[in-house]
Amino acid sequence: MDEYLKYLKYDPIKPLLESKNETLTFFARRDLLDEKGLDVKDLWEAPEAVKILKRQREDGSWKYPGKLKDVYRDQKGYDQLETFRHIGFLIEKHGFNKNHPSIKKAAEYLFSFQTNSGDFRGIYGTQYTTIYSPMISELLIKAGYEDDIRVVKSLDWLLQMRQDDGGWAIPLRTVNAKFLDVVHDKEAIEPDRTKPFSHLITGCALRALSAHPGYQKMPETRLAGKLLMSRFFKRDKYPDRSAVSFWTGFSYPYWFTDLLTSLDSLSKIGFSRDDPQIGTALNWFSNHQSNDGTWIKLKLLRGQDKQQYLWITLQISRVFKRYYN
């Protein structure tokens, strides 16, 4: 028996193998049972993946399907967001990488929004997106672009955007600016670096840094990890998703910062289950496991996938295995 299973009340692997979902069973066999000889390309023609690919446009993007909901994000901003969302499904749920032409096209589309500074801009108009920029970088790294100079540039920009305390915030929030007042300004607002970090933004930044082998063990990354841990189960310092309840609301593919995204990043950075805050978070998941082995009763925030709870179960199991094996 794998060591991590001793720290869970029930075996989570059985319901994953019995899910009748070929992608879930593939990742359970590969990542939890350590089966060899499995080829991720076998997942690239799954019906769900094909359905997503059919909607990709010639320029590599996906068009946002609804009406524009606000005036600070134009159509291009929404399409950038929609493209980020769709490659998340392809990369995280179907194992797509840069060897697939659709990912290559989508990556080039997203790189077209990269500024000379290195960040991906447009989702917040002319303003810095210290939340979306690293999440885009994270997916590109997972797709195999970790050595691409453009990704490296995005991570270097991210490190330059830290607050004085070593974490991150949305710059316009640190000066109490309102989105609608500044998104069409010619220049991006620089942060007031004396203001405290936001754990929402710091958690997203760490996802990119922890995904990259050259950045995950840097002192700056580790410092930010300590800051993130110090905020578990507390309110954020800024109004965006500030409630404590957001720590225990989950989605997969990941969206914003929660307890699972944080544990995932911190395990890659090198933090141990012996760290008190991590031990508390792992115990929280252990105590909330259902007797069928899944985490079906957790609060899910995004998506219509009826098997979303099984994806969350897979990801929690991966994280436990990393901490305990």
pLDDT digits (tens, 9 = 90+) for 162-209: 999 999 999 999 999 888 788 888 899 999 999 999 999 999 999 999
The pLDDT of residue 304 is above 90: no
CA–CA gap between residue 209 and residue 138 (Å, rounded): 8
Mean pLDDT across 38-47: 95
**Could you tell me if 118 and 156 are in contact, meaning their C-beta atoms sit under 8 angstroms apart?**
yes
Task: Give the model's pLDDT for residue 70.
Answer: 59
Residue 122 phi/psi, 5° resolution? 130, -30
Give pTM, 2 decimals: 0.95
pLDDT, position 286: 96
**Residue 216 · residue 268 · CB < 8 Å:** yes
Average pLDDT (63-80) is 78
Residue whose pair of structure tokens reads 């991720």 in the numeric block: 40
pLDDT single digits (tens) 104-142: 999 999 999 999 999 999 999 999 999 999 999 999 999
Average pLDDT, rounded, for the chain:
95
Question: Quick check: 1 pLDDT over 70?
Answer: no
- Start-to-end Cα distance in the chain: 11
Name the residue with higher pLDDT: 287 or 66.
287
Query: Which of 287, 313, 315, 303 is CA-nearest to residue 18?
Result: 313
